[in-house]
Homo-oligomer: A and B are copies of this chain.
Amino acid sequence: MKNQNRILLGHGSGGKLSHRLVSDLILKYFNHIELAKLNDAARLSFIGENLVFSTDSYVVDPIFFPGGDIGKLAICGTVNDVAMMGAKPLYLSVGLIIEEGFALSDLELILDSMRVSAAEADIEIVTGDTKVVPKGAADKIFINTAGVGVSFSGINLSGQNAQVGDKIIINGTIADHGITVMARRGGLELDLEIKTDSAPLNHMIREILNKVPNVHVMRDPTRGGVATTLNEIAGQSEVGIKLTEKNIPVSEQVNAVCEILGLDPLYIANEGKVLVFSPADHAEDVLSVMRTDKYGQNACIIGEVVNEPRGKVYLETMIGGQRMVDMLAGEQLPRIC
């Protein structure tokens, strides 16, 4: 196959090809133990404390969409990655790559959006870099952020820690971000009220950990959606995961768009959601904390960790059947974040 030796869009999807690229190629060269864990951030020793460090680049198209823009994503995404390791995000770096000819007024909108999100998340933007490339060498603007945080003591979160019996809790409806961007990009002339769920979740996460310090896993289901993230965790922890379709919150409008376009919301990106794996006897505590937070009003228990099949995810469907839920294969929607 001619394409076998080239980068494909699917390599950036967060799904199967992404995982293969990281596992087969990138880890061949960079083999730090924290990197190999395939968490969204690294937990590192720093003068006896645990420092959490994470990075993401944002290449979303379009750069403005209902409820947010590339700047909001760039702050919230990295804040969330640090927070999901059980850490307080402290500092952010910002790297801008801008196409020649980009409107300064758009840049100002984006910077202001970053300022607002950083203030909400209570994180400081402390260092940065700006590169400009000739017209046509990049599409408008790409933003990289890296985040540094300090671990809460006594917390041990990792994708490797899921245990049989854990309840899986999400803080609200899925697929809002991906469908919002897709609708805007495709110029869908539907009268939609959907908007991105992009939000900094660090305050809610801290409250959850205050109340239930022994939750096992937290991760944000971004690229590749809930299905892909749960497959990652099932693989890392060598457990099975059972999802209950009727409990998975999807808004009516998102559901309608998914049906029209033939998309499965389980594979669509979220930017303000967290999946929490909690011991069963604390699941209600997690739910109650989420529901008191503005980003957790529609929190639900959507599944649980089971013995078999190891490393796999399956869904109990509305009509009582079962189907396997694999990782995203290929690329459903490029440049979603």
A34 located at the interface, meaning its Cβ lies under 8 Å from any Cβ of chain B in the complex: yes
B130 and A42 within 8 A (CB): no
B9 and A134 within 8 A (CB): yes
What residues of B have a CB within 8 angstroms of the CB of A104 in the complex?
A: 5-7, 25
> Given A5-B105, A104-B6, A335–B126 Cβ distance below 8 Å?
no
B146 and A8 within 8 A (CB): no
A142 and B146 within 8 A (CB): no
A53 and B91 within 8 A (CB): yes
Residue of B nearest to A24 (CB): B104
What residues of B have a CB within 8 angstroms of the CB of A130 in the complex?
A: 11-12, 18, 21-22, 26
Residue in B29, B46, B142 whose CB lies within 8 Å of A114? B29
What residues of B have a CB within 8 angstroms of the CB of A114 in the complex?
A: 29-30
> Among A92-100, A254-262, A279-287, A306-314, which stretch is in contact with chain B?
A92-100
> Given A53-B91, A91-B42, A335–B144 Cβ distance below 8 Å?
no
Complex Cα–Cα for A55 and B148 (A): 12
Report, as a range, how many residues of chain A touch the other chain: 35 or more
A131 located at the interface, meaning its Cβ lies under 8 Å from any Cβ of chain B in the complex: yes
Residue in B28, B34, B59, B112 whose CB lies within 8 Å of A97? B59
A35 and B132 within 8 A (CB): no
- Ordered by A's residue number, 7 sampled pairs between the chains whose C-beta atoms are within 8 Å are A7-B99, A11-B130, A30-B111, A30-B128, A35-B125, A47-B47, A47-B49
With A8-B132, A18-B130 given, name 14 new contacts (CB 8 A).
A6-B100, A9-B100, A11-B98, A29-B108, A30-B125, A42-B127, A47-B48, A47-B49, A51-B51, A53-B126, A61-B137, A97-B142, A136-B139, A144-B144
